[in-house]
């Protein structure tokens, strides 16, 4: 089983005729993702790899009964794209776009929740349920179907951890890149709950980084609600205070959000923390 996406996912690509949208549409379709349409204002009637293009998400929804959208539009238009998808009735919205202004995300996220939908991203690599569906920019060759759920703030570290899991015979149920911005959609607590309730996920790998307190809150949630084995890696352990490290959300401010604090929070609730990503498989195996 998987969470969020599977073979029943019906995907719309917003920005399908653009450079990035077109490139990744080809990759997603080749993996087997069921892409039922795309949008590009003024280009209705065209097609990309046989996939019909519509002017608006609402037009696409009326014709295709899609349930998921992925956004590849430039940052200045990402807020409108997210809100357009929610307004049209899309239930899962994945925004790949980076550089989206934080206040735009706040406004879009609130509207998405009002509409009863879920958001992943922005500034994320998307998600994959191996051998079922991939929505985003994941390197599919390293993934293998299995029973370990993966949640990560870092795209690159997602790939490193997954490579090590697969190399050690541990496939993945679903891997989700939540994004590295200060404000994003689905985060650790919601995804931990989904994996805890998924009967075919037996363990969880969580990848965090400096900045904010999401990892500390995740540790508290695990203590109270998660019975499955969890192993963690925290990036940015050498980051000095006041320095942003890569992601807009990865900044230590006023002495909070440090790697040491996050590691201590997980260790305090009995969750092992890897010193390097390659240790994740062994930490999980020791608890299964």
How far, in Å, CA of 152 to CA of 250, rounded?
A: 13
Nearest Cα neighbor of 149 from 232, 262, 91 is: 232
CB atoms within 10 A of CB 241: 13
Nearest Cα neighbor of 242 from 210, 287, 274, 198 is: 210
- Which stretches of the chain are DSSP H helices? 19-31, 57-64, 75-88, 102-114, 155-167, 188-197, 214-225, 259-268, 280-285
Residue 247 a catalytic site member: yes
Strand order in the sheet with 172-177: 133-136, 126-129, 172-177, 145-152, 203-209, 230-235, 273-274
> Of the residues 24, 132, 153, 247, which is catalytic?
247
3-state secondary structure of 20: helix
Residues labelled as active-site residues: 247
């Amino acid at each position: 089983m998987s969470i969020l996406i599977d073979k029943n996912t019906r995907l719309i690509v917003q920005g399908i005729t653009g450079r990035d949208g077109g490139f990744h549409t080809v990759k997603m379709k080749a993996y087997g993702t069921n892409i039922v349409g795309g949008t590009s204002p003024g280009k209705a009637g065209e097609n990309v790899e046989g996939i019909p293009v519509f002017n608006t998400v609402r037009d696409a929804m009326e014709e295709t009964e899609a349930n998921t959208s992925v956004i590849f539009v430039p940052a200045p238009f990402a807020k409108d794209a997210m809100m357009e998808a929610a307004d049209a009735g899309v239930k899962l919205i994945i925004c790949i776009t980076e550089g989206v202004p934080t206040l735009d995300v706040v406004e879009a996220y609130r509207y998405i929740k009002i509409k009863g939908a879920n958001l992943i991203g922005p500034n994320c690599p998307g998600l994959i349920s191996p051998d079922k569906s991939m929505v985003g920019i994941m390197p599919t060759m390293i993934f293998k179907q299995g029973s370990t759920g993966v949640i990560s703030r870092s795209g690159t570290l997602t790939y490193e951890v997954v490579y090590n899991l697969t190399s050690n015979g541990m496939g993945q149920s679903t891997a989700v890149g939540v994004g590295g911005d200060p404000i994003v959609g689905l985060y650790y607590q919601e995804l931990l709950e989904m994996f805890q309730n998924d009967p075919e996920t037996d363990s969880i790998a969580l990848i965090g980084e400096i900045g904010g307190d999401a990892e500390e809150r995740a540790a508290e949630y695990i203590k109270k609600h998660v019975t499955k084995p969890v192993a963690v890696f925290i990036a940015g352990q050498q980051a000095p205070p006041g320095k942003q490290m890569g992601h807009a959300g990865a900044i230590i401010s006023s002495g909070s959000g440090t790697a040491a604090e996050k590691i201590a929070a997980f260790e305090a609730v009995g969750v092992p923390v890897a010193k390097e990503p390659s240790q994740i498989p062994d930490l999980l195996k020791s608890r299964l």
